[in-house]
Each structure stands twice: as C-alpha cells, then as structure tokens.
Amino acid sequence: MPGNIRHWIGEHPRWTLVLITLVALVPFLNKPFNIDDPLFIWAARQIHAHPANPYGFDINWEGRQAPMWKITDNPPFASYYIAAASTVLGWSELALHFAFLLPAAAVTMGTFRLARYFCQSPMLAALAGLFTPAFLVSSTTVMSDVLMLALWVWAVVFWVEGADQNNLYKLLAAGCLAGLAEITKYFAVCLVPLLAAYSILLRLPLRKWAPFLLIPLASFWAYQFAMQHLYGLYPLFRTADFSFARKDDAHVPGLPFLIGLAFTGGCLAPALFLMPLLWKKWSAAFVAIGILIAGLMLLDPGLLNQYRYLQPAARAGVELQLALWAATGLSIVVLAVSELTVARDAKSVVLVLWMIGTFVFAVFLNWTVNGRSILPMAPALGMLIARRLERNSTGPFPIGKIAVCMAASAALAFYAAEADCLGAMAVRQNVRSIFAAYGQRFKQIHFQGHWGFQFYMSQSGAVPLDLKNDLLKSGDLIAIPANNTNVLLPGPGKAVLVEIYTEPGLPFLTTLNQSAGANFYASILGPLPFVFCQASPEVVAIYSLR
C-alpha cells in the first residue's frame, strides 16, 4: 500500500470505515424488496397519507385480509424513516436502499468511536463487526434492524462518553437515542438495563444518570398507550404472546440451542477465521466439539425431521455445516464469558451483558432464531475480538495474519449478501416473466405466498388469494411460489398445472431455500442462516382451476 494512502487512513480512520462500508453495500442498491420489506414500505405509504395512523389499513399477508396492526410486530419508526426518505428520493429500490446506507455507515462509525474506550484497536473492532454475514445481509434490506442498531450503538457511545466526561448533554442524547431505538425495534428496551449496569459498575451517583433513563422508558410506554388508543391493544404484550405461541420448539432436547449456536457462528463468521489467533492451543478443542456434534447428528438421522422440506440429498451437508457453525457459535459464547475471567471492570461486564443478553433473546425468547436477531451482537463481538487479540499478542501485533483472516471473513459475508440479493432478483424476475406472458390477463391472476413475491405481484396488479372469502370458479389462474410460506396447494384433481417459471439464484450458496435447509430470516424454515450447496432455483407454478 502506498505510503500516502496509509497516512490518509491513519489520519482519517472514520471516513475510511465509511468508504469501506459504502464499497461493500453499493453493489446491492438495486436489490429487490424481499422478506418483510413490504410491510415497512406499505406502512410508510400509509404514513404519507395519515402520519398519525401508521397501521390503519388492511392487508392480505397470511392468506386472508386483516388489519395491519394485527400483522406487524415492529414499531413504526423505520417506516417513518422510509416515508421521510421517499419524499426526497422516491420509492424505488435504488432510492430506499440508498437511504439505508446512512444507518449502516453510522453503525461502523459508532462502533469505531465506542471501541476507542473498550480496546486499543478500534479499527479492527469496527471491521470485525462490519464483515459479518449478519451485518452485510441485514444492511441490504429496508427493515428496522440496522437502523435500530445504529441508534443502539450511538446511545451507548454517548452514555459512555457522558459518564466518563460528566457531560449531561451526552447523557441526554443517549437517553433520546435509546428512546428512538425502542420505537424502532422492541429489543432495544434492553438498552435501559445495559446502560444502568454500566453506570452502577462505575459507582456513579444515581441522581446523575437515572433521570436520563426515564426518557426511553417514557418513550416506550407513550408508544404503547398511543397504539392502545388507536388500535385497542398494547403492542408489546401482543408481540410477546405471538412469540411464545410460535416459539420454535423442535421437541428434540438441545436442538433449539444447537441451532442458536449455529446461527450465531454463521452470522458472526469472523470468529471462525480468527479462531487460531483467538484461542491458539484451545482451537483444537472447538474442532473436536464440531466433530462430536457432526457425529451425534449422523448417528441420529431423525434429528432434523422437523424440517420436512429438507431434501434427503442435502441432509449430510447441512449436518456437517451445522456442526461447523455450532462449534463457532460456542467459541463466541465462551469468548464472551471468558472475558470476565481476565477483567471485571465496567467495560468488560457491559460487553458480556451485551453479547449474552442478545444471545438469550435470539435463541430462547424470540419467536424464531434468525440473522436479524443475532445482528446486535456484531459490534460487541468486534470489541471482544480486539481485546482478546491484544492480550494474546506478546510480541508485535500480527497485522498480516489478522488481515488475511478478515479478508476471508469479508469474502464470505459479501458472498452471503450476494446470494440473498440474487435470490430476491430471481423472485422479481419470475413475476416479470409471468406478467410478460399474461399481459392484461395478469390482473385476473390470484396468487399465494408473501414476502417480495407478494410485493411485486401486487404492484403489477395480481390479487392475493383470500382463502377465507374468495369464491373461485373454473378457469381461474393461481400462481404459487415453491420457496415461500402461507401457501396451500390445490387438492388432487382440482386444478391443472399450466406452466412453471424458474429463475436460478447464486451457485453454491443460498440464504433462503427450504429444500437446502437455509433461511437467514427464520430458523423454523431452515436450521442454518446460509448453506453451501447447489440450491434449487426459484419456482412459481401457474394452476388453472377445474
């Protein structure tokens, strides 16, 4: 690297991180909307028309028409952000993804600024959080996760700086950001005990910091009461009921925990590539654990029977990859807990609480394990990795070895984001192909399924099938995607298969394919966030009713 470039990076590390973040995400600006993106966009359109009533409309998301406030489990701040951005940039994929570059860059810059207080290698900490599949894949959506994380990280930054400098304005800013984070995603409620724990461990007088935590508490309950006034329910209680009602329960002892470890390891992959530097002599122990997990699954072929769409030919590959990432996830948990064996100051305890609290929520409390719920661990993991490597370095810091490991991690994270993007493009292209074939008749087509498929089908004029109210007649056409949910295939003899549309995704890796065992967004549909395999293409079948 030329000396002048190294000098510029050394003088401007924050802007270097911004440039790296943009370089990593700009290739995905035209990614089609997918998964729950439509819910946030539709709510944003409602906000344009009725700013004080974000969920006051009906949608057909689960096979029948229902009020939006019964469908969504997210607070509306991300939709307000989309609504504000769309007034300037428009509603296209390019425009909204461009708007979400800001919170992504804010996460990396905030991680760097916070890491200056927690370790001696803030650039390494920020890059380790950036080059994770959890962050790069989530940053290519327009959902609430990265926006919430940006508010979370900067709330912690201002709280730590405010406590360190006795700066009441920064504590005030932290309280306000925490309040916004809570009405972006409910998980941010955990910020209140986290920030309180940091202040208590520093033995700060209660009167100096406690009043500022009343801001997020007031913000959270004000939102609850507002929703109760508008729609007659408290969203937090409804979300909790939904989570416990649909909690992923495999009825196999230990399997949810195993899947939680695998999602943690896969979504936070730098821990795998840096394992020889992090653990040195102990790396062999995690390799042995991975082999043991693989052996146990091979001895019990029924362990993954809950995934009824998983192809038999893919099971062996899924089991081996599950073992690899579960061992990596275990190393991450051990890395967090072991931090307390070498340091028990406020910073160490807060990082451990940040990591373990997120892990417990993602694995045991959330309705399903997914990459989005693992995402908040990424900045804390980056700082723990930096602290561990600094302690392990008895001589010169191994910059070359770390650079090689981080390059491998970046390649995997980028490849996962590319796979997710191409999968979404395949869905959009299938809709375009159907529309091109049927032309004006397209508006007479009913369809099942949701996510991005529903968004583009509805945008083109097709009608989502209402399983409760629609009266179909002979000759009606129904489009049914294979790799989706909320679909009900016609019974035998009740429909004729007219045509099949297929579009391939990325070779050798998939983030969303039930037959391959991959679903970054819900472990109930796949035990891994991504799978290396030759995945089947996106398929849409057109049926004609008899």
pLDDT tens for 479-519 read 889 888 888 888 777 888 888 999 887 788 999 988 888 99
d(CA 519, CA 112): 30
412 φ, ψ (degrees, to nearest 5): -65, -45
Q: What angle do CA 523, 529, 503 make, to 5 degrees?
A: 100
* Residue 202 burial (C-beta neighbours within 10 Å; 0-12, 13-18, 19+): middle
Alpha carbons within 13 angstroms on the beta-carbon side of residue 281 total 1
d(CA 198, CA 184): 23
d(CA 130, CA 104): 9
Does 544 or 112 have the greater pLDDT score? 112
Residues 6+ apart with CB under 8 A from 365: 243
Which tens digit of pLDDT belongs to each residue from 221-258? 898 888 888 888 777 666 665 655 555 444 444 577 88
Among the listed residues 354, 442, 419, 386, the one whose alpha carbon sits nearest the alpha carbon of residue 155:
354
d(CA 10, CA 67): 53
Flag whether pLDDT at 12 surpasses 70: no
Residues 6+ apart with CB under 8 A from 59: 42, 65, 66, 68, 71
Which tens digit of pLDDT belongs to each residue from 198-212? 999 998 898 889 999
Flag whether pLDDT at 313 surpasses 90: no
d(CA 456, CA 427): 9
Structure tokens at 311: 């192809």
Residue 251: its pLDDT value, please? Answer: 44
Which tens digit of pLDDT belongs to each residue from 172-182? 999 999 999 99
Residue 250: its pLDDT value, please? Answer: 43
Among the listed residues 264, 281, 386, the one whose alpha carbon sits nearest the alpha carbon of residue 327:
264
Residue 247: its pLDDT value, please? Answer: 55
Give residue 165's identity as a one-letter amino acid code. Q
Flag whether pLDDT at 5 surpasses 60: no
Quick one: what percent of the chain has pLDDT higher than 70? 92
Give Dmax (Cα) for the chain. 78
Residue 249: its pLDDT value, please? Answer: 47
DSSP string, 248-304: ---SSTTHHHHHHHHHHHHHTTHHHHTHHHHHGGGHHHHHHHHHHHHHHHHH-GGGG
139 φ, ψ (degrees, to nearest 5): -75, -10
d(CA 448, CA 495): 15
Which tens digit of pLDDT belongs to each residue from 260-304? 999 999 999 999 999 988 887 777 777 788 788 777 776 666 677
Flag whether pLDDT at 100 surpasses 60: yes
Residue 243: its pLDDT value, please? Answer: 58
Residue 11: its pLDDT value, please? Answer: 64
Residue 152 near residue 103 (C-beta atoms within 8 A): no
Which tens digit of pLDDT belongs to each residue from 102-137? 999 999 999 999 999 998 899 999 999 999 999 999
Residue 198 near residue 346 (C-beta atoms within 8 A): yes
